């Protein structure tokens, strides 16, 4: 693997839960192909799977051991910018292919393939973590079954092509995504979506070169010259285009290197722009009420939540709880839930330690609002979650998840963590298992989280089906007998615990030392994460025993 990312974690969890012995090696940790080959030789695996690989597999490895690459493109597609091309070319159908490693990249025999419909408006990261990840897991499962039964891969030329016009496509570098404000906003939004994550779409704005992310086009015409900032809404900014207006949620300064991705108004000068309603698709939160049940949806780009955002979300929860409802349902969007505090904003601050402190205190406000609610609260992991994002949802009375979600219920990067986790995790799974989850620092699937009692139930993977399921779950808890039982359980959970402020005080005392004294190297680990520094070694916890 090139990294233990969301897709790799999902495959790792799936195979382990199916009873396979799974170990992992990170390719960047090896300085030469020979050292990688020696490690593989010591392990002598039955099958090598590469769900996420940017490095070339040494010939000495794939010649001796069956090595399968998971490529984010359908049969016939080749090249390192598969999803970029798919979005730019307005592909309506795409896929994932599991193929044998050979000398020529993406040209080996096919073990399995899976295709899917591509939404008309989706970013590369959302596509990768959603439909691509689903198809990749399906391909891995098919491959393993075929390998175990003695089956063999089929030459690519002999395999049916479900997606037409697939071919070898070139690497798209940042220059390929350059933006021109004279173009229609819809076209610019598509280019930004295709460059999402990396390399980013560059443009000149206000005399500075920036990379833009998290954009949405609207038809509004403000009569301004293309490239003029015409509005703002919290941290999002609106820019006039040749046709329509482009709302931008995130931006990064581009000099010799790209800076951190930050909320747009922290990079773009929009102080004099008028306040405008943001498009619904970019709203930071949305609330609706259906009878006795209130539904609050939070939206965070890539799951990171900065200080002011956490404060606004805490206020949104508190406002929703003032209504005459019996149940409050909190969830995220199809593509993001939360990973806790915003490392990018922290790192870019004049005083990172103070910003980190403000951020953790603000997300604690959100957690306290959820945990101290008089109504029954139901939180739903709609997408992958980590660290403080996992813990925030565990502050609810009932927590559920969407199938396929991967949780990282622990803290890393040299911080103790807060978000009431010293209460919420142990109150669900007991102190011993809580210590193991927090200490082992391993991802778990939604299914495993339900099995151990960390969450209550798992709903469908399909997004519309999950939303319908979540509504049915909320309605079920609103039945008089069930509601009474759940309120009794809520009171028992509180009675068995100390005041919530006790846990918060202990956690924040530890976090103060982590931020201000940097006792465990939070500053350097944070910077390494934001720079996407390659792993120096494979963590022992991920290797074969």
- Model confidence pLDDT, tens digit, residues 392-417: 999 999 999 999 999 999 999 999 99
Q: 148: helix, coil or strand?
A: helix
Q: Quote the CA–CA distance of 98 and 108 in Å, as a whole number.
A: 9
Residue 493, pLDDT score: 87
Phi, psi of 432, rounded to the nearest 5 degrees:
-70, -50
Residue 56, pLDDT score: 84
Query: Which residue from 58, 100, 99, 106 is spatially nearest to 80, judged by alpha carbons?
Result: 106
Res 105 pLDDT > 80 = no
Are the C-beta atoms of residues 156 and 128 closer than 8 Å to each other? no
Averaged pLDDT for residues 336-355: 97
Measured CA to CA in angstroms, residue 64 lies from 28, 39, 144, 461 at distances of 21, 13, 18, 37
For the chain, the first-to-last Cα distance in angstroms comes to: 18
Averaged pLDDT for residues 126-132: 96
Percent of the chain with pLDDT over 70: 99
Query: Which residue from 157, 44, 50 is spatially nearest to 108, judged by alpha carbons?
Result: 157
Res 142 pLDDT > 80 = yes
Residue 545, pLDDT score: 66
Q: 526: helix, coil or strand?
A: helix
Res 245 pLDDT > 80 = yes
Residues 110, 113, 115: CA angle, nearest 5 degrees: 150
Averaged pLDDT for residues 255-275: 92
Q: Quote the CA–CA distance of 312 and 287 in Å, as a whole number.
A: 13
Measured CA to CA in angstroms, residue 439 lies from 93, 418, 422 at distances of 42, 15, 13
Q: What is the pLDDT of residues 494-522, one digit of tens each?
A: 888 999 999 999 999 999 999 999 999 99
| Average model confidence (pLDDT) across the chain | 94
Res 158 pLDDT > 90 = no
Kindly tell me the sign of the dihedral angle through the C-alpha atoms of 161, 8, 429, 471.
Answer: negative
Residue 459 — very low, low, confident or very high, per pLDDT cuts 50/70/90? very high
Cis check: omega of the bond before 199, within 30 degrees of 0: yes
Phi, psi of 153, rounded to the nearest 5 degrees:
-75, 155
Q: Quote the CA–CA distance of 188 and 225 in Å, as a whole number.
A: 16
Q: Which domains does the chain have, with CATH numbers?
A: 6-158 (3.40.50.170), 174-280 (3.10.25.10), 284-527 (3.90.226.10)
Percent of the chain with pLDDT over 90: 84
Q: What is the pLDDT of residues 30-71, one digit of tens each?
A: 878 889 899 899 999 999 999 988 888 889 999 999 999 999
Residue 225, pLDDT score: 96
- Residue written as tokens 């000495």? 60
Res 260 pLDDT > 70 = yes
Residues 141, 142, 148: CA angle, nearest 5 degrees: 90
Q: Long-range contacts for 481-487 (Cβ within 8 Å, ≥24 apart)?
A: 483/326, 483/327, 483/376, 486/376, 486/397, 486/398, 487/376
Kindly tell me the sign of the dihedral angle through the C-alpha atoms of 143, 147, 151, 155.
Answer: positive
Residue 484 — very low, low, confident or very high, per pLDDT cuts 50/70/90? confident
Res 159 pLDDT > 90 = no
Residue 62, pLDDT score: 92
Res 261 pLDDT > 90 = yes
Q: Quote the CA–CA distance of 516 and 354 in Å, as a whole number.
A: 8
Are the C-beta atoms of residues 188 and 217 closer than 8 Å to each other? yes
Residue 27, pLDDT score: 80
382 Cα distance to chain centroid: 10
Are the C-beta atoms of residues 177 and 199 closer than 8 Å to each other? yes
Averaged pLDDT for residues 364-380: 97
Residue 403, pLDDT score: 98
Query: Which residue from 518, 526, 205, 200 is spatially nearest to 345, judged by alpha carbons?
Result: 526
Q: Quote the CA–CA distance of 14 and 243 in Å, as a whole number.
A: 46
Q: 32: helix, coil or strand?
A: coil
Q: Quote the CA–CA distance of 395 and 507 in Å, as a whole number.
A: 15
Residue 55, pLDDT score: 80
Res 72 pLDDT > 90 = yes
Among 40-54, 312-326, 530-544, where is mean pLDDT lowest? 530-544
Res 470 pLDDT > 90 = yes
Residue 495, pLDDT score: 86
């Amino acid at each position: 693997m090139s990294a233990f990312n969301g897709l790799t974690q999902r495959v790792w969890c799936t195979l382990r839960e199916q009873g396979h012995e799974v170990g992992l090696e990170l390719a960047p940790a090896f300085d030469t192909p020979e050292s990688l080959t020696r490690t593989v030789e010591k392990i002598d695996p039955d099958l090598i799977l590469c769900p996420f690989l940017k490095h070339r597999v040494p010939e000495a490895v794939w010649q001796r051991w069956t090595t399968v690459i998971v490529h984010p493109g359908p049969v016939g597609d080749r090249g390192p910018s598969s999803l970029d091309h798919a979005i730019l070319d307005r592909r309506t159908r795409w896929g994932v292919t599991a193929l044998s490693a050979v000398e020529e990249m993406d040209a080996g025999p096919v073990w399995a393939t899976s295709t899917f419909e591509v939404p008309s408006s989706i970013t590369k990261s959302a596509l990768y973590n959603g439909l691509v990840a689903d198809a990749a897991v399906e391909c891995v499962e098919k491959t393993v079954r075929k390998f175990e039964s003695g089956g063999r891969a089929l030459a690519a030329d002999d395999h049916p092509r479900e997606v037409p016009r697939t071919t070898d496509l070139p690497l798209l570098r940042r220059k390929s995504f350059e933006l021109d404000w004279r173009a229609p906003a819809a076209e610019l939004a598509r280019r930004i979506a295709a460059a999402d994550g990396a390399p980013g779409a560059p443009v000149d704005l206000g005399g500075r070169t920036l990379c833009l992310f998290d954009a949405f086009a609207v038809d509004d015409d403000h009569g301004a010259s293309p490239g003029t900032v015409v509005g703002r809404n919290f941290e999002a900014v609106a820019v006039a285009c040749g046709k329509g207006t482009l709302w931008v949620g995130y931006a990064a300064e581009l000099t010799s290197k790209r800076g951190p991705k930050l909320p747009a108004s922290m990079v773009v000068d929009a102080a004099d722009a008028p306040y405008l309603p943001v498009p619904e698709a970019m709203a930071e939160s949305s609330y609706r009420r259906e009878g006795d049940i209130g539904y609050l949806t939070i939206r965070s780009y890539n799951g990171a939540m900065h200080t002011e955002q956490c404060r606004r979300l805490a206020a949104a929860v508190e406002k929703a709880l003032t209504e005459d409802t019996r149940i409050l349902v909190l969830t995220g969007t199809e593509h993001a839930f939360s990973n806790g505090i915003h490392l990018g904003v922290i790192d870019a601050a004049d005083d990172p330690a103070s910003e980190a402190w403000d951020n953790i205190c603000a997300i604690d406000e959100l957690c306290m609002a959820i945990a101290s609610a008089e109504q029954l609260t139901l939180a739903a992991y709609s997408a992958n979650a980590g660290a403080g994002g996992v813990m925030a949802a565990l502050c609810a009375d009932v927590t559920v998840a969407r199938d396929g979600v991967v949780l990282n219920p622990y803290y890393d990067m040299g911080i103790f963590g807060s978000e009431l986790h010293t209460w919420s995790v142990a109150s669900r799974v007991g102190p011993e298992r809580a210590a193991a989850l927090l200490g082992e620092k391993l991802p778990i699937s939604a299914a495993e989280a339900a099995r151990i009692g960390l969450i209550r139930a798992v709903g469908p993977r399909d997004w519309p089906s999950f939303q319908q399921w979540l509504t049915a779950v909320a309605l079920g808890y609103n039945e008089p007998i069930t509601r009474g039982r759940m309120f009794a359980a809520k009171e028992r959970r509180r009675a068995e615990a100390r005041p919530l402020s006790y846990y918060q005080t202990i956690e924040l005392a530890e976090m103060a030392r982590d931020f201000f004294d940097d006792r465990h190297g939070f500053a350097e680990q944070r910077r390494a994460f934001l720079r996407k520094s390659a792993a120096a070694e494979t963590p022992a916890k991920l290797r074969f025993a």
